[in-house]
Structure 1
Amino acid sequence: MFLASASLLLLSIWLIRRLYIIGRREPSLPPGPPTIPLLGNLNIFPTEYAHYKFTDWAKEYGDIYSLKIGPGTVVVITSMEAVRELMEKRSGNTVDRPPNYIADNITGGLNMVLARYGSKWRILRKTAHAILTPNAVTAHLPIQIAESTQVMYDLLKTPELFYTHIRRYSNSVVMSLLYGKRSPRYETREATLFFESQHLWELALEPGAHPPVDVFPFLRYVPRRWAPWKVLCDKTREAQRKLYFGLLDECLKRVQRGKENGCYMEEVIKRQDEFGLDRELSGYFGGVMIEAGSDTTSSFLQSLILLLTAFPNVQRKAHKEIDQVVGDQRVPNLDDVPHLPYIQAVIKETHRMRPVAPLAVPHLNREAETYRGYVIPKGSTIFVNTWGIFHDPDIYHDPQTFNPDRYMHNEHGTKPNTDTRSFRANMGFGSGRRICPGIHLANNSLLLNTMNLVWAFTFDYATDPSSGQPIPVNLFDYHKGILTAPKPFRCKISCRSSGHAQIIEREFREAIPTFQRFEGNLSVEDEAWLKATRD
C-alpha cells in the first residue's frame, strides 16, 4: 500500500513538473516576453492586427525574438539581414509551412500557399512556374491593358464606386488569364462568389483569431455548438469549391468542344498528366491562383488611392512627371516605365507603407537552425515581420509618412549609410522558395494601373455635404486578416480634363474586341449590362 502511494506521489510530481516546463522558454532560444506555465505566451498572443504587436515586441526584444505557444515555438524576425540568412540562404530548410488544421480542414492541404512541403506542393509549384513564364506573361498583356482601361472608364463614369471597380479589375484580370472568362462588372456571379469566399478564408486564417488547434489537438473534438471556427471552416470550404470546381468544369468543357481562348487553365488541363495533377489538385491550383491575383492586387491599388488622397504633395509630383513624359494626348504604356522614376518610387513606397501581407505567410524549419548563437528548434514557426521591417525608424526616415522621394535617393529608400547588402526590391512578394510565382504578372498590373490612375485622375478628400468641410481619410482603418486592405473609404475622384476623358472613352471602345475573347457563357444580366454600356 505504501509503495503504491509513493509511486502515485512520484508520478504526480513528475506530471506537475512536466506541465510546469511546458510553455517555458528554453535558454537556447532568442529572448521574448515572459511566459507562464503551460500556455507560454498564448495568453498575450494578439488576436487581431498581430503585426502591430509583433513590431512593438521587436523594439523591446530585438529583430529576432521568440514566443512560446504551449510546447511549440514561434520565432519572429524583423530585419532584412535575418530574412536573407534564414529565408533565402537556408531556404531548403525553411521552405515548409507550419501545420494548419483550420486551413487543411478547408482545403484538404491542397492550397499551394499554405501546403506543407512535400510531393503535392512540388507539383503545384512546378505547374505555376511552367505557366507563369515571362514569355507567357507578356503574351497575356493585351487583356491586362484592356482591363486597366476599363478601370479608367469605370472611374470616369461612377467614381464614387472606385472601391469595387478596383476589386472587379483585379478579379477580372486573373479570371481571364486563368479561366478565359472575365468579370465585366463587380456583380458578375463569379466575382461575387470569389469575394464572399475570400472574406471567409481571410477570417479563418487570421493569426490568433481562433483556438490553437495545432498546439492543443484535443480542441478538434469540441462540439460544433461551442466551436464557431468549425462552422466557419465548413462555410469557407463550400464557397471555395463551388467557385473553383465550377470554373474548372466550365474550362474543361470548352477544351473538349475545341473552343479554347488561350487561358492558363486550358494548358493545365491539357498537360495534367505531365504535371502530375488530378482533379482535386487542378481545382485548388486554379483557386489559389485566383486568390493570389485578385485580393493582393486590389488591396495594393486601394491603398495607393488612399495614400494619394492623404498626401496631395506626392500626387502633384507624380502628375508633373507623367505629364512631362506621357503628355495628355495618349495613355501611358509599359515602354514609359523606365522614364518614370517617381512613379516607380510611388509603387515602392506603397509596398513599404502598406504591405499587403504584413506578416507574410509563416514558414517552418524542417531541421534545427543555429543563428547568432541561438538555436531555433526543428518545427518552429517563423514569422517574417514585413510590417516591422518596413516601418523601422532606424532604417527609414519618418516611416509613417508616405514619401516616395526616399526611393529617389537610393534604390531601397533607406537612410544614408544604411547597410543594404541584405535588401531586395521584391520583399513584399514573400521570400525564399515560397516567393510568389506570379510576381511578373502582378508587377505589370501595378505598373499599368498606377500610371493610368495618376495620368487620368485627381484624388481629393470628399466633402461633408452638411458642413462643407473635407472628410479626412483614416490611414489605419484596415480589414483584419492575413492579407490587409483598407476598409471602404470616401474620396473625390475627378478626371483631369475633358481631353483625358475623351481618350479614356476611345481607348475603352478600342478594347472591346480584346474583351470579347473572354466573354463567353456570361449571365443574362452581364450580357444586358455589356450591351447597355457599349451602346
Structure 2
Amino acid sequence: MKLFSYLLSTSSTVGDNTSTMILGLIIIAIIALVWASSSQNTSSGINYPPYAPGRFPLVGHLPQFARGIPLQELFRQWSLRMGPVFTIQLGVKRWIILNSLDSVKQLIVDKGTIYSSRNLPDTLVNDLMDGVEKGGGFAFYPYGKEWRYLRRIAHTNLIKKKIDLYQPIIDERRTTLLQNILDASQRNNNILSPTMYIEHFTMTSILAIAFGSMAYFKPGDPQLHEAFALTERTAALLGPSEQIREFFPILQKILPSSRAEFVDVRKKMVGFYGGLLERFKKEKVTDNCFVSEILANGSLTDLQIVSFASLFIGAGSETTASTLEWMIALLANNPDIQTKVYEEIKNNVGLSRLPSHDDELNLPYLQCVILETLRLRPPAPLSVPHATSEDDIFQNWFIPAQTTVIINLHAIHQDPVQYPEPEKFIPERHMNYVRQRQDKFTQTTEDRPHLAFSTGRRVCVGIHLAERSLFMAASGILSCFQIDRLDKDILIDVINPRKAQAPTFAPRSYNIHITPRHDNVSNLINIK
C-alpha cells in the first residue's frame, strides 16, 4: 500500500488527469509488466557495492524516498550502517552513493576519466537542451572531446584575472543590494524578507557580467521574474516525475509525455537569452563581459552562446543566492558570531567606506563564516550526478558503465572526525586554513575545507566568481546592518517548498529585523 501511494503521488506530478482508480489499475499492471524489463537488468551475478537497507522487490529503494527525510540525510544515515559506498536500486537503475572524502578522492578524482560523465534521459537532452550535437546544455554533456572544448572556453573566461575585470559590475550590484535592503526595511518598520533582494543581486550581477551594462533590471521587473521562473521550471523538469520514466521504462508508453513541456521551456529560454544576445549584437556592446569574450572567440554558434549564458546565469545565481540566504539565517541565530564579524570589519576596514575585494585577506573571520556556511549548508548537497563512462572495478565491486554516481556532500561535511560537532555553526574551525591559504585551487580534495563546489574534472567552473560574489555581498551587508530574529527561531533546517524540485537547497522563506549598524550607512551606499 505504501508503494502504491508513493507511485501515485509521483505520477501525479507529470500532470496526469486520469482518475485515481484508472491510474491505480495502470500502476498495478505496471508492477506485473515491469518484471520482465527489471529481470533483464537484475543485479544477480553483478557484485555491486552493498545495497542500502529497505530494498523492495522490483521498485528497490523508491518507497524509502517517501519517508519525508531529505535524501542527503537519508543517504548519510544509511552510510553509517553500510559504509561510505553503497548501492541503491531505483526500478531498473542502480545508483552508487559516495559518502566519504576518501571514496570521492579514489573515484571522482583519481579515476576522473571514468567517473566524470553524465547520464541524463534522452528526452531531457534532446527536447529540453536541444541536443548535444547542436550545443545545448554543455554542462550535462558526457565526458569527452566536445565537453572538454567547451569547458576550456568557460574556464578561460572565469579565471581570477577575468573576475577582476568584472569587479566594477559586482561593486555596483552590491551597492544596489544594500540600497534595496535599506529602502525596503525603512518602508516596513525594519522588517525584511531578504529572498527577493538576494535573488535580484545574484541574478542581475551575473546577467551584467554576461551581457554588460545593457542587462539592467529593477527588483520585480517582469522580464527578470520570467528568467527566475524559467530557471525554477527547468529545475522542476529535472525532478522525479521525469526520472520515474527512466526507473520504469514501461511508463514511457503509459504516462503522458512531457515532451511538449520540455520544448516550451527550451523555446522560452532561447527566446529570453537569445533576445539578450540579439540586442547585445545590435547595440555593439563593448563592455568587459562574458559574452563579448565568447563572441571574440568566434568558434561558437548563437545556440551555444545562449546555452552558455542560460547555464551560467541560472546555476550561478541560484547557488549564490541560497548560500547568502543560509548565511543570513545562520547569523540571525548566532548574534555573537555576527558581532565578531562586524568588529573585525570595523577594526580592519573602518566605517568610512565599504569593504572592497582587496580587504578579503584582512577579514579572516568573515572568510571563516562563508566557508562554514558552505560546509553546513552546501547549495547542492548531492552535487550534480556523475556517471561512469566505462566499466570499473573498485574494492572488488563491479560498477558498470553508465552507472549514476552521487557525491553526498552533506555526509562528507557531517563527518565528526574531520569536523568535530559537525551539526554546529563554528566558523573558527576554518581559521588555520584561512591563515595558511595560498589562494590556489586544484581538482583534488585536499586544498579546500569543504566540497561545496564539488571536485575533480567536473568541479564548478564558476567557483571564483561565486566566492567573489559571496564575499562582496556578505562584507557589505554585515558592515552596514545588524540582523536579528523576529521569531524565537528562524527555521534553518527546512527547505523552501517553492524550490523543492530545484537542484539547490534553499531555506524556507523567513523575515528578519534589520537595522543600520551606524549613522554613516546611508552615506556609504549613496542613499539621498
The TM-score bracket by the shorter chain reads 0.7 to 0.9
Match of 2:471 in 1: 447
Quote the Cα distance in structure 1 between the aligned partners of 2:123 and 2:415: 32
Aligned: 1:430 with 2:454: yes
Deviates more, 1:46-55 or 1:335-344: 46-55
2:183 to 127, 133, 157: 157
Structure 2 residue aligned with 1:389, among 412, 419, 426?
412
* 1:3 equivalent in structure 2: none
The residue aligned with 1:30 is: 49
User: Counterparts of 2:66 and 2:391 in 1: how far apart (Å)?
Assistant: 26
Aligned twin of 2:275: 246
Flag the 1:25–1:65 CA change in 2: closer, same or farther, 3 A. Answer: farther
Per-residue deviation at 1:410?
Answer: 5.4
1:460 is paired with a residue whose SS is: strand
**Which residue among 364, 367, 370 is the counterpart of 2:390?**
367
Deviations 1:359-407 (A, max 9, x none): 0000011122222332222221100000111122343222222111222
Q: 2:60 aligns with which of 16, 21, 40?
A: 40
SS of alignment partner, residue 297 of structure 1 = helix
Matched residue, 2:298 = 272
- Aligned length, in residue pairs: 469
Give 1:219's match in structure 2, choosing from 223, 248, 251. 251
Mapped contact 1:99–1:116 kept (Cα < 8 A): no
Q: Which of 122, 135, 151 matches 2:161?
A: 135
Q: CA deviation at 1:189?
A: 3.6
1:16-415 residue pairs with structure 2 within 5 A? 20=39, 22-24=41-43, 28-34=47-53, 35-45=55-65, 49-101=70-122, 103-104=124-125, 105-109=127-131, 110-159=136-185, 160-180=192-212, 181-206=214-239, 208-222=240-254, 224=256, 229-230=258-259, 232-255=261-284, 259-273=285-299, 277-408=300-431
1:124–1:285: 8 Å Cα contact kept in structure 2?
A: no
Structure 2 unaligned spans of 5+: 1-33, 186-191, 437-443
User: Does structure 1 retain, via aligned residues, the 8 Å contact 2:364–2:435?
Assistant: no
**Correspondence for 2:507:** 486
Residue 210 of structure 2 contacts residue 289 of structure 2 at CA under 8 Å; is this kept in 1? yes
More off after superposition, 42-51 vs 27-36: 42-51
Q: CA deviation at 1:122?
A: 3.0
Please say if residues 231 and 314 of structure 2, whose CA atoms lie closer than 8 Å, have aligned partners that are also in contact. Answer: yes
CA–CA distance in 2 between the matches of 1:249 and 1:496? 44
Cα RMSD, aligned residues only: 2.6
Contact 1:39 1:70 in 2 (8 A): yes
Asked if the contact 2:165–2:288 (Cα under 8 Å) also holds between the matched residues in 1, the reply is no
CA distance in 2, matches of 1:83, 1:101: 27
Kindly provide the amino acid, as one letter, of the partner of residue 265 in structure 2: T
State the Cα distance separating 1:27 from its structure 2 match. Answer: 5.5
Query: Cα distance, 1:471 vs. partner?
Result: 4.4
Equivalent-residue separation in structure 1 for 2:101 and 2:261 (angstroms): 36
Quote the offset at 1:161 in angstroms: 4.6
Structure 2 letter corresponding to 1:237:
R
Structure of larger gyration radius: 1
Contact 1:163 1:488 in 2 (8 A): yes
- The alpha carbon displacement at 1:19 in A equals 5.1
In percent, how many aligned pairs have the same letter? 25
2:479 and 2:180 mapped to 1: Cα distance? 15
Question: Equivalents in 2 of 1:232, 1:186: separation in Å?
Answer: 28
Task: Work out the CA distance in 2 between the residues paired with 1:406 and 1:191.
Answer: 39
SS at 2:120 equivalent: coil
Equivalent of 1:499, from 506, 520, 523? 520
Query: Can you give the 5+ residue segments of structure 1 that lack an aligned partner in the other structure?
Result: 1-14, 414-420, 463-469, 507-533
The match for 1:8 is: none
Q: TM-score, normalised by structure 1?
A: 0.81
Instruction: Report if aligned partners of 1:167, 1:186 keep a CA contact under 8 Å in 2.
Output: no
